[in-house]
Chain A
Amino acid sequence: DAKTTQPNSMESNEEEPVHLPCNHSTISGTDYIHWYRQLPSQGPEYVIHGLTSNVNNRMASLAIAEDRKSSTLILHRATLRDAAVYYCILRKDYGQNFVFGPGTRLSVLP
């Protein structure tokens, strides 16, 4: 199974953009890139996912490199509520199980 690599932790200032990187150099053509986040004392929640093209939704944007070996989750304006562990996960289209790594712990400073 293809694996992902994320920094252990990152810091951001409130109201500034945050770029969370994820490396997945062994990604295959059928792997979707998923992002989840886990707020304190809660279960993970879906953020965004994509295959090849960049994706936007109300929570975030996902920028996928042209060779697909890396991707970046972009929070356009961080709030204190965005402090969480962010997980980058690869998953095939035909329902392979989600495998969570350690993720990136994002701290947002007021």
Chain B
Amino acid sequence: ETGVTQTPRHLVMGMTNKKSLKCEQHLGHNAMYWYKQSAKKPLELMFVYNFKEQTENNSVPSRFSPECPNSSHLFLHLHTLQPEDSALYLCASSQDSSTNEKLFFGSGTQLSVL
């Protein structure tokens, strides 16, 4: 148990669906992250939030829309995805993204787009 919980663990969606991934951290951290891990590729950073403000958008397509209503919760809203978006989506948190603090990851949501 890392203190970072992601739901759902698995998600199958069609290309016209709208769905959301949820991440919650119970560590009192102020920074939250979304990473994407495609099969046989390294983890790719998507978004960073620090104290609820987005500080990084790594050229992510607009069909991925993050939301950080407070420091404990992070959402990734999905709309009109493509099959190549199928991947493991990982959420992480740290004390503060502007300092050299370690990351704590959730177990991820395995997304399949049909």
Contacts and interface: CB of A to CB of B under 8 A. Distances in A.
Interface of A: 32, 34, 36, 41-46, 49, 91-95, 97-103
A94 B98 contact: yes
A46 B84 CA distance: 29
B78 interface: no
B103 A32 contact: no
B10 to A, nearest CB: 11
Interface of B: 2, 4, 35, 42-43, 45, 48, 56, 90-92, 96-108
A94 B101 CA distance: 10
A15 to B, nearest CB: 27
Chain A interface mostly: loop
Contact of B100 (A95, A99, A101, A103): A95
Contacts of A91: 100
A41 B91 CA distance: 14
A43 B105 contact: yes
Shortest beta-carbon contacts, A-B, top 10: A43-B105, A95-B98, A100-B43, A46-B102, A43-B90, A100-B42, A93-B100, A44-B105, A95-B99, A102-B42
Contacts of B42: 100-103
Contact of B2 (A45, A49, A95): A45
Nearest to A43: B105
Nearest to B110: A41
Nearest to A96: B100
Given A97-B48, A98-B45, A102-B42, A42 B96 contact: no
Given A43-B92, A43-B107, A97 B98 contact: no
B103 A46 contact: yes
A43 B98 contact: no
A41 B97 contact: no
Nearest to B50: A95
B107 A42 contact: yes
Contacts of A42: 105, 107-108
B2 A43 contact: yes
15 contacts: A42-B108, A43-B90, A43-B91, A44-B90, A44-B103, A44-B105, A46-B102, A49-B102, A92-B100, A93-B100, A94-B100, A95-B96, A98-B45, A98-B103, A101-B42
